[in-house]
Structure 1
Amino acid sequence: MTTSQQLRTIATTWTDLQDALGAPAQLGAFGLGLRGYLARLDQYDAEEAAALRALERDPSQIGERPVPIRLRVFDTMRSIQAGLAELADQIAAEVQREPVSFAPRDWPAAERARRNALARADLADPRRWRFRGNRPPAPYTALWLLARVEHRPGPCRRLNEAQQERIGHVARGAVTRIEAVLDVADRCKELSDENTCACGGRIEVYGGAGATPVARCQGCGALWTEQGIIAA
C-alpha cells in the first residue's frame, strides 16, 4: 500500500472508527477464547498502555475489569489524530510559504487595494495549514498531507524525499492501528512459551478480517476454534 493509499484509508475509515465507539465491549485476556488471544496481539507503546490500565479500573472497585472496546477505539482515534496534526505542523513549517503581505499605506490606492485583496485571499486559502486554533479532524489532516504527497496545487513547496518518508512512516502506523482495532486485517501470531499445546508444540493463532479465529499446534497439527478442537 502506497503512502497515498494509506492516507486515503485513514480519511475514508474514520467514520467506521466513530461507529465502533459505541460497539459492545469485548474481553481481551488469556483463558477467554481465541479472540482473547488475538486481542493481546495488538502492540501499544508505554504511554498508551498506561492510559488503558488507568481506564480499566474504577478507584472505588476491587478487582480487575476488562476494558470496553470503545475505550480502545477512542484511544486509537486520539493517538492518530494527534500524530497526524503534529506531523502536519512539522511539514507545514518546512514547506508552506508565508502569506502574501499586505500593502504599505504609502502605496497608491488602486495598487494597495489589489495587493490587500490578494493578501486576504492567500491568507484565507483553504489549502493553507493553520497552526493556531482548533485542529481539524483527522480525515482533513490526512487529505491535506495527501495533497502534499501528490504535489497538488497550493501554497506549499514540493516535499523532499525525507519529508515523503516521514509522512509514509506515520501513515503506515495509523493504518496498522485502524486495521487492528476494526479487525479488518489478516493477523497471525505465534503464542509465547507458556501457552503451548498439550503435546508441547507451539501454538499459532490466526484470524482477523472478519474470519473466525483459529489456532493450530505446530507440533501435532491440532486445530481448534473458540468452540473447541476441530481436528487432532
Structure 2
Amino acid sequence: MTTSTAATQLQQIARHWPALDDALGDRTQHAWPPPQLRDYLNALERDELDDPTAYLAARRGLERSPDQLGARPVPINLRVHDTMRPVEAALLDTADRIARAVQRHPMQPPAPARAATAATRAERLVWEDRARRIEQARRDAADPRRWHAAGPGRTAIRAALWLSGRAASAPGPFRPLTDAEHRHVAAIAVGALARIENVLDLADHHRELTASHPCACGGTIEIYGGAGAHPVARCQSCGAIWSEAGVIAA
C-alpha cells in the first residue's frame, strides 16, 4: 500500500465517523449479512484485514471497561456500537504507539533564573534571548500538530487525521515513519475502513466462501451486495442464487 493510499483511507475514516454517530441511534438499520446468508458469511476470514496486535489490545481494553458490566437498556444500534468501539480503540492505541516512537519531545525552556536589571546592552541581549527561548519552548509544547496521550483531543476523528498526517509525512515535530511503522498504520487504516464501510453499507461486497462451505453441487459460492444493492449469493458451478428471501434460482 502506498503512503497516499493509507493517508486517504484514514481521511475517509474521519469523514465517515459522523455518519456512524448518526447510525448509532438507528435501531432499524439493515444489517449485513441478512439472516439467510449469515451462516455462509461467517465462514469468511474477516480478520485478514486487521493488524492483530492492535485489535487484540483494543479488545482487551474494552473487556476491562466498566461499561461492559451489568445489564442495561439498549437504546442504540448494537451493530454500529460494536464497530465503533474497537475501531476507535485501535486508532487511539495506534496513535499513542506511533507518537511515542516518532514525536519529538518538546523543547526544554531555560532553567529558572532570579530577576535582575539589565544594566548593559550585553545583559539586555542575554535576557531577550532567554525570553525568546522560553516562548519558543512554550509554543513547541503547545503545537496543535502534537498527539497527546491524555486530554479532550483523544477522539477517533483526530486520531485518524493525525495518523493520516504521519502516513503522508506532513511537517511537524516528528520524524518520518519507518517502513515497518508505515505498514502498521496502513494495516489499521485498511481494517478500520473496511469495518466502517461494512456497517454503513458503503462497501461493494464480492467475496468467495471458503471451501468448507460449498454449494450442494460442490461448487464455490460467491457473495455480492453492499453499496445499496440487495445481497445475493451465487454458485459458480450450478448457477443457484440465494437472496434475502431464500433460493430464487436453481
- TM class, shorter-chain normalised? 0.7 to 0.9
Residue 218 (structure 1) shift: 3.6
Instruction: Choose from 102, 106, 111 the match for 1:99.
Output: 106
Mapped partners of 1:29, 1:12: distance in 2: 24
User: 1:193·1:202 contact (CA, 8 Å) conserved in 2?
Assistant: no
What are the Cα deviations for residues 112-154 of structure 1, in whole angstroms up to 9, with x where unaligned? 2211111111111100111233452111111111111212121
Return the TM-score normalized by structure 1. Answer: 0.77
Matched, 1:190 2:190: no
- Identity in percent: 45
Mapped partners of 2:225, 2:33: distance in 1: 16
Instruction: Choose from 12, 30, 33 the match for 2:36.
Output: 33
Aligned amino acid, residue 80 of structure 1: V
Equivalent position SS for 1:177: helix
Equivalent position SS for 1:205: strand
Moved more, 122-131 or 96-105: 96-105
Residue 156 (structure 1) shift: 0.9
Instruction: Choose from 6, 13, 16 the match for 1:13.
Output: 16
Matched, 1:211 2:211: no
Are residues 105 and 89 of structure 1, via their aligned partners in 2, closer, same or farther at CA, if it must alter by over 3 Å? same
* TM alignment of 1:39-188, pairs within 5 A: 40=42, 43=46, 47=59, 70-106=77-113, 108-187=126-205, 188=207
Are residues 163 and 201 of structure 1, via their aligned partners in 2, closer, same or farther at CA, if it must alter by over 3 Å? closer
Are residues 78 and 111 of structure 1, via their aligned partners in 2, closer, same or farther at CA, if it must alter by over 3 Å? same
What are the Cα deviations for residues 63-116 of structure 1, in whole angstroms up to 9, with x where unaligned? xxxx99821211211111111111111111111111111122349432222111
User: 1:25·1:69 contact (CA, 8 Å) conserved in 2?
Assistant: no
Mapped partners of 1:200, 1:69: distance in 2: 41
Are residues 69 and 196 of structure 1, via their aligned partners in 2, closer, same or farther at CA, if it must alter by over 3 Å? farther
What are the Cα deviations for residues 159-216 of structure 1, in whole angstroms up to 9, with x where unaligned? 221111111111111111112212222222427757744x565543321221111122
Q: Any stretches of 5+ residues in structure 1 without a counterpart?
A: 61-66
Equivalent position SS for 1:33: helix
Q: CA-atom RMSD, angstroms?
A: 3.4
Q: Any stretches of 5+ residues in structure 2 without a counterpart?
A: 48-54, 115-125
Return the TM-score normalized by structure 2. Answer: 0.72
Mapped partners of 1:140, 1:146: distance in 2: 10
Mapped partners of 1:9, 1:20: distance in 2: 17
User: 1:191·1:204 contact (CA, 8 Å) conserved in 2?
Assistant: no
Which structure would you say has the larger RCO, counting Cα contacts within 8 Å and 6 or more residues apart?
A: 2
